């Protein structure tokens, strides 16, 4: 954390009521370019009082936005979509510059976020209630859904655009106003998106960005004007956010960490499985909540599969994401040190390092935070490389004798975000999707991220709360139901009757 700005480093802001707002405090953090290690910006960390002001701005924008017709609200979303299509490349570049992921991966992230905008453009249909005529004689009943008010979104570093976009298009289209607190490691995407909203014609105060750390999060969790919190991050913080937010009367969905298993059965296409293990294990340098980190090889295919994966891993080019490399750096020096620490621990605990990413030649200038693709074999469930979420380019191979042993391993794991099965046997695949205790499952698909019109979310320690992100569950999360029973006066209804009303 710094308090003084080097001369060539930008100072970032918050975004409130349709304009950039400089921080008013003296706490700042550094934003770095992970491929070079250079500090590129300093970020103001909001105080609780500053967060309170941002929430107040969002609160005062709420009544007018709630009462704006659905047609006009969705017209703004359509304009946002068009602008983003035209300028997606700018956003992807910002993501690569602060997160480090390679350009094609950053573009893919923006495209997956855009799918949620497109889903939310259908809000008039999604918000349709139901109505019953003559539920009782002359009495009609209708159900409607209404927005909550100010909603808070707290996002992680690994998807600077897509994760916030899982939430805010739906929240805004449904008539809420938003305060987004992005990860302090990657704040520029959120500020860029805020400007795009202004250009799209979103009224001031409907979408706000407050930058900060724990102090800002705690202020959002305890502010009575914040009605709901969508959080994504590591499991300990997700649990804390869920417990604190709900204790303060809020609706909370808190998505946490992951340990995703990819099971390969003896009848699988091993070349396909090896390709997909590489994509899912090392894409985004393993910094995806849906990354595969545990490859479970069933039966006698393990040696062949490990050879195939190792050959592919050695061919990957790691370096600056702007140079057409396959894999970029980790997000910070601390992340790099943590990941290499796990590899060292795995080796000490008896794992075989088949491909070692702890090398120091990468296609980049400066002092980037690189770890190359790393493949560990003979990993067992008691090793820290298995028990902990590493969040780096480390793929661990665990060998088991049977399908049942693979499923038992997955179900015993405290996380339940994603899993994949590779097989050519439809019967086993069907059993797997039925038996496995995980929220998102891929059959011969390694990173089974649901489309925007389905909902995204894990089980067990990968999600606290009842509601998953986007899809119809997202619409329900950001609205609450009302049922209206109506009778238009008729003289025949007069008369006192204290009995409980029944149908008649
Ligand atoms: P993180 O938990 O460190 O941070 C997430 C957010 O919480 C950030 O905005 C951060 O500022 C805030 N925060 C950090 N420490 C806090 C504290 N003590 N109190 C209150 N708020 C705090 O997570 P990260 O490192 O940014 O992101 C990586 C993690 O996110 C991984 O565990 C990954 O699996 C998870 N993730 C999960 C999903 C999912 O869908 N389940 C998706 C993306 C990322």
- State the SS3 of 144-182: EEEECCEEEEECCCCCCCHHHHHHHHHHHHCCCEEEEEC
- 240-255, pLDDT tens digit by residue? 999 999 999 999 999 9
Q: Is the CB of 238 under 6 A from ligand 1?
A: no
CA distance 281 to 279: 6
Which of 156, 164, 235 gets mutated to test ligand 1 (max ligand atoms within 8 A of its CB)? 156
Give the pLDDT score at 7.
Answer: 59
Q: Is the CB of 233 under 6 A from ligand 1?
A: yes
- Does residue 74 sit within a domain? yes
Q: Which atom of ligand 1 is nearest to the CA of 182?
A: 9
Residue 427 and residue 289 share a domain: yes
User: Given a cut of 60, is residue 5 above it in pLDDT?
Assistant: no
325 catalytic residue (yes or no): no
Domain of 403 in residue numbering reads as: 260-443
CA 199, 205, 211, 214: dihedral to nearest 10 degrees? -150
Q: Is the CB of 260 under 6 A from ligand 1?
A: no
Could you tell me the CATH number of the domain that includes residue 157? 3.40.605.10
Which is it for strands 251-255 and 463-464: parallel, antiparallel or unpaired?
Answer: antiparallel
CB 23 within 8 A of CB 217: no
User: Given a cut of 90, is residue 363 above it in pLDDT?
Assistant: yes
Residue 381 and residue 338 share a domain: yes
Residue 102 and residue 68 share a domain: yes
Q: Report how far ligand 1's centroid is from the alpha carbon of 107 (Å).
A: 22
CA distance 271 to 292: 17
Q: Report how far ligand 1's centroid is from the alpha carbon of 17 (Å).
A: 26
User: Given a cut of 80, is residue 126 above it in pLDDT?
Assistant: yes
Q: Which of 121, 289, 325, 424 is catalytic?
A: 289
The stretch 389-416 carries a mean pLDDT of 98
Q: How far is CA 35 from CA 95, 360, 439, in A?
A: 12, 13, 33
Q: Is the CB of 213 under 6 A from ligand 1?
A: yes
Q: Is the CB of 258 under 6 A from ligand 1?
A: yes
pLDDT band at 1 (very low <50, low <70, confident <90, very high): very low
Output the CA angle 352-355-361, nearest 5 degrees: 140
pTM here? Answer: 0.97
Domains in the chain: how many in total? 2
CB environment 87-97: b (16+ within 10 A), e (fewer): ebeebbbbbbb
- Does residue 54 sit within a domain? yes
Output the CA angle 35-158-261, nearest 5 degrees: 110
Output Rg (C-alpha) for the chain, integer angstroms: 25
Could you tell me the CATH number of the domain that includes residue 270? 3.40.309.10
Q: Report how far ligand 1's centroid is from the alpha carbon of 339 (Å).
A: 17
CA distance 41 to 265: 48
Residue 474 and residue 354 share a domain: no
Q: Report how far ligand 1's centroid is from the alpha carbon of 99 (Å).
A: 14
Q: How far is CA 326 from CA 189, 284, 331, 365, 395, in A?
A: 22, 9, 16, 16, 16
CA distance 384 to 146: 46
DSSP 301: G
In this prediction, what percent of the chain has a pLDDT beyond 70?
98
């Amino acid at each position: 954390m710094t308090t003084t700005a080097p001369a060539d480093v930008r100072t970032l802001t918050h975004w409130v009521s349709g304009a950039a707002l400089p921080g008013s405090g003296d706490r700042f953090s550094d934003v770095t370019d992970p491929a070079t290690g250079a500090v590129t910006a300093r970020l103001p960390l909001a105080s609780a009082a500053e967060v309170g002001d941002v929430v107040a701005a969002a609160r005062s924008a709420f009544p007018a936005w709630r009462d704006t017709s659905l047609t006009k609200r969705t017209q703004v979303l359509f304009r946002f979509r068009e602008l983003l299509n035209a300028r997606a490349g700018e956003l992807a570049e910002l993501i690569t510059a602060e997160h480090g992921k390679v350009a094609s991966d950053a573009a893919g992230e923006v495209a997956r976020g855009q799918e949620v905008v497109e889903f939310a453009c259908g809000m008039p249909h999604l918000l349709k209630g139901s109505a019953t005529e003559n539920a009782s004689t002359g009495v009609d009943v209708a159900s409607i859904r209404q927005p909550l008010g100010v909603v808070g979104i707290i996002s992680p570093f690994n998807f600077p655009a897509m994760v916030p976009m899982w939430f805010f298009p739906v929240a805004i289209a449904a008539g809420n106003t938003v305060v987004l607190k992005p990860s302090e490691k990657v704040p520029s995407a959120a500020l860029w998106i805020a400007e795009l909203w202004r250009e799209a014609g979103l009224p001031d105060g409907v979408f706000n960005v407050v930058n900060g750390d724990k102090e800002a999060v705690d202020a959002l969790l305890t502010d009575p004007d914040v009605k709901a919190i969508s959080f994504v991050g590591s499991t300990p913080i997700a649990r804390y956010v869920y417990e604190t937010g709900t204790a303060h009367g809020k609706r909370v969905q808190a998505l946490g960490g992951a340990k995703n298993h990819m099971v390969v059965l003896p009848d699988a296409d091993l070349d396909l499985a090896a390709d997909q293990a590489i994509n899912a294990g090392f894409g985004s340098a393993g910094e995806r909540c849906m990354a595969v980190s545990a490859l479970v090889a069933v039966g006698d295919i393990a040696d062949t599969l490990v050879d195939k994966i190792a050959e592919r891993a050695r061919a990957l080019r790691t370096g600056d994401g702007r140079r057409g490399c396959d894999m970029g750096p980790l997000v910070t020096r601390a992340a790099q040190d943590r990941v290499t620490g796990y590899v060292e621990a795995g080796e000490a605990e008896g794992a075989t390092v088949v491909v070692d990413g702890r090398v120091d030649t990468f296609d980049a200038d400066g002092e980037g935070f690189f770890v190359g693709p790393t493949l560990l074999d003979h990993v067992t469930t008691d090793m820290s490389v298995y028990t902990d979420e590493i969040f780096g380019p480390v793929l661990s191979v665990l060998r088991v004798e049977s399908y049942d042993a693979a499923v038992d391993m997955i179900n015993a794991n405290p996380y339940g975000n994603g899993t994949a099965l590779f097989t050519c046997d439809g019967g086993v695949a069907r059993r797997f999707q039925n038996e496995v205790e995980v929220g998102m499952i891929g059959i011969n698909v390694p990173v089974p991220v649901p489309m925007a019109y389905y909902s995204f979310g894990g089980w067990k320690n990968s999600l606290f709360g009842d509601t998953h992100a986007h899809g119809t569950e997202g619409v329900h999360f950001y609205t609450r139901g009302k049922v209206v029973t109506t009778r238009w006066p008729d003289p025949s209804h007069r008369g006192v009757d204290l009995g409980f009303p029944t149908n008649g």
